[in-house]
Structure 1
Amino acid sequence: MAIQKRTIGIVGTGNVGVAAAYAMFIQRTASDIILLDKDQSRAEGEALDLMHGQTFAGPARVRVGNYPDLAEAQVIVIAAGVSQRPGESRLDLMERNVAVFRAILSELDQHAPNALLVIATNPVDVLTYVAQALSTRPAQRIIGTGTMLDTARFRALLGEHYGVDPRSVHAYILGEHGDTEFPVWSDARIGGLRLVGNVINGRPYDRPALDAIFEQTRRSAYDIIERKGYTNLAIGLVIARLVQTILNRQRSVLPVSVRLQGEYGLTRVCLSLPSIVSENGLESSILPELDADELAAMRQSASILQERIVEALPVAAGPVPDNHTATQG
């Protein structure tokens, strides 16, 4: 039996797009990676550089293409857009990136209408909503990376605090990928034991210390940008993990940016909830039982994002067309 060809497209070969390509290349996520960028010379250089690593990573084709070449792609990552400047919030990027997305989505709908889209450009929640509003494909086939990176940072810091492998930490950052994100302390666990009120690995529950960990998580992007000018390595791994989940039909639960359809009484917004992701895109969201403070934080996050969506794309804030209605499994 022939092995199905796994083709990934990456639109935008800036720092994030290249980090994603590198992560997928060394993890052998795809047999064919197609790079697109307005700066074709740079894209060609990145493709050549990766191809020279086949001796160590295994055979995988990395090439530069145009939009028609993406017709065969199962997943397309959109990492194009202007970069976040030092001191600039993710939402401040909105107006400059919406115009970029209009052009990209027009091309993708024409040449790759069946591909599942992964949105990685910031502000990711606003641009995920914009993409769903502008594209002809079903909304469940357009997923933002959301708070996957924030949650990974959070778990890493909690693992360090408690002296355990971060993969044994089960805790989420939800809401906006940005300043109004919030931790779900009420259900954060290690080894099935709640953090709240318990001693774990000799560490007593210390809410001020945990709050400081969340603040460090929330500030991480700003701290990295201040030091190196951009973030790219960890988000590249996030993108690779999300694409693997889709291609391998893993049905993993990931905190990705999805359109809300009445969850927690909220609509007309994309933000992160734990969601089942498969080869079909979003299957359904899992709704943690939030305490009063967490529910208020969720609503605050949604309110801020809804305002930005209205500013970004008035048509996107209107009724959702039938072809954009997400199915819930």
Structure 2
Amino acid sequence: MDKRTKISIIGAGFVGSTTAYALMLEGLASEIVIVDINKDKAMAEAMDLSHGAAFVKPVNIISGEYEDTKDSDIVIITAGIGPKPGETRLDIINKNISIFKTMIPQIVKYNPNAILLVVSNPVDVLTYITYKLSGFPSSRVIGSGTVLDTSRFRYMLSEHFNIDARNIHTYIIGEHGDSEIAAWSLTNIAGMSADEYCLKMCANCDSSFKNSIPEAVKNAAYEILNRKGYTNYAVALAVRRIVEAILRDENAILTISSLFTGQYGIDDVYLGIPTVVGKAGAKNILEVSLNEEESSKLHESAGILKEYILKSDI
């Protein structure tokens, strides 16, 4: 990893500031720049983080303007208007598109070689918008996709089966939102499918969890929003994981939001899908073997997002 790695975060809200904290703890950057329209908020976050300098690896954390992000390795975009209680991620699309039309040209002006990582919601649509506005190759414009949803899925399965979440291998694919799909055909625990593990290891287990858990994953963000008004910790950890995979050139397989160019018979839309992630960004989408129902739902998810893109004020 480059010892002089620079990461900029656009947006000093709950997600942006917690992301800066997660990156700082992991020691992934030598410089972190925080930019926000609320300059006092950005400055306060940078100051607060900097005061922990004695407890972490050396890192220079500043607040600034777009020009201060110049030559960043990665620009993380968390700015925008989040969903309020009762709103879906897609309800807020046009509010955020107007923000992105102003923001993306400024980011590109100072960071022509950066990887752009979009976290703002609705993340799949806004990643597509960023791709179109930036003119960057799709490999360098990615979204956080369903990396968080996949972690939620693994956690809930770990609670159900009472085993370590790290030993459950599975994915949530498609939209980061209401049309997301639990890929049961790809789920395995010690090489066993969820059904096989259930049969062999859980005396009182029935198949109802295959409906209840994906529904709980899908509604998790809404439940948190209704209770505290925002989400921040888990999404920041998901972003940290993506950044780590890029900076360490891991060739990690993560369900980031990637541009489909014919994979699965889907074209010109960003969706969360298992993707090889390394220093060049999104290296390639993996065309894993989905069952017929999952494949159909993935197409439906793509159709929903395309419809919103067509209706949006791009």
Aligned to 1:238: 238
- TM-score normalised according to structure 2 size: 0.96
Q: Give the CA deviation at 1:201.
A: 7.0
Q: Answer whether contact 2:79 2:120 (CA < 8 A) is retained.
A: yes
Q: Answer whether contact 1:163 1:201 (CA < 8 A) is retained.
A: no
Q: Answer whether contact 2:71 2:110 (CA < 8 A) is retained.
A: no
Relative to structure 1, is the Cα distance of residues 121 and 134 closer, same or farther in structure 2, using a 3 angstrom cutoff?
Answer: same
Aligned to 1:264: 264
Alpha carbon RMSD of aligned pairs, Å? Answer: 1.4
Cα distance in structure 2, aligned partners of 1:281 and 1:121: 18
Which shifted more, 68-77 or 116-125? 68-77
Q: Which amino acid aligns with 1:280?
A: A
Q: Which amino acid aligns with 2:48?
A: D
Cα distance in structure 1, aligned partners of 2:123 and 2:142: 10
Cα distance in structure 1, aligned partners of 2:2 and 2:104: 30
Cα distance in structure 2, aligned partners of 1:94 and 1:24: 28
Aligned to 1:307: 307
Task: Give the alignment of 1:212-291 within 5 angstroms.
Answer: 212-291=212-291
Cα distance in structure 1, aligned partners of 2:2 and 2:260: 36
Q: Answer whether contact 2:3 2:30 (CA < 8 A) is retained.
A: no
Cα distance in structure 1, aligned partners of 2:273 and 2:250: 18
Task: Give the alignment of 1:112-261 within 5 angstroms.
Answer: 112-199=111-198, 202-203=201-202, 206-261=206-261
| SS of the residue 2:201 aligns to | coil
Q: Answer whether contact 2:140 2:281 (CA < 8 A) is retained.
A: yes
Structure 1 spans left out of the alignment, 5+ residues: 315-329
| SS of the residue 1:125 aligns to | helix
Q: Answer whether contact 1:78 1:120 (CA < 8 A) is retained.
A: yes
Q: Which amino acid aligns with 2:249?
A: R
Structure 2 spans left out of the alignment, 5+ residues: none
Which shifted more, 204-213 or 55-64? 204-213
Relative to structure 1, is the Cα distance of residues 313 and 281 closer, same or farther in structure 2, using a 3 angstrom cutoff?
Answer: farther
Cα distance in structure 1, aligned partners of 2:202 and 2:90: 37
Relative to structure 1, is the Cα distance of residues 201 and 54 closer, same or farther in structure 2, using a 3 angstrom cutoff?
Answer: farther
- TM-score normalised according to structure 1 size: 0.92
Q: Which amino acid aligns with 2:305?
A: L
| SS of the residue 2:7 aligns to | strand
Relative to structure 1, is the Cα distance of residues 122 and 3 closer, same or farther in structure 2, using a 3 angstrom cutoff?
Answer: closer
Q: Give the CA deviation at 1:312.
A: 2.0
CA deviation vs aligned residue, 1:248-303 (integer Å, no higher than 9, x gap): 11110000101111111111211011000111011001122111111111011011
Cα distance in structure 2, aligned partners of 1:3 and 1:187: 35
Cα distance in structure 2, aligned partners of 1:16 and 1:278: 23
Q: Answer whether contact 2:100 2:130 (CA < 8 A) is retained.
A: yes
Q: Answer whether contact 1:162 1:201 (CA < 8 A) is retained.
A: no
Q: Which amino acid aligns with 1:300?
A: E
Aligned to 2:41: 42
Q: Give the CA deviation at 1:66.
A: 1.4
Cα distance in structure 2, aligned partners of 1:231 and 1:3: 31
Cα distance in structure 2, aligned partners of 1:283 and 1:268: 17
| SS of the residue 1:149 aligns to | helix
Q: Answer whether contact 1:68 1:112 (CA < 8 A) is retained.
A: no
User: Which consecutive aligned stretches of 4+ in structure 1 deviate over 6 angstroms post-superposition?
Assistant: none
Cα distance in structure 2, aligned partners of 1:124 and 1:3: 28
Which shifted more, 134-143 or 194-203? 194-203
| SS of the residue 1:131 aligns to | helix
Task: Give the alignment of 1:53-64 within 5 angstroms.
Answer: 53-64=52-63
| SS of the residue 2:70 aligns to | helix
CA deviation vs aligned residue, 1:94-129 (integer Å, no higher than 9, x gap): 000001111111101211111100000000000011
What number of residue pairs does the alignment pair up?
Answer: 313
Q: Give the CA deviation at 1:200.
A: 6.6
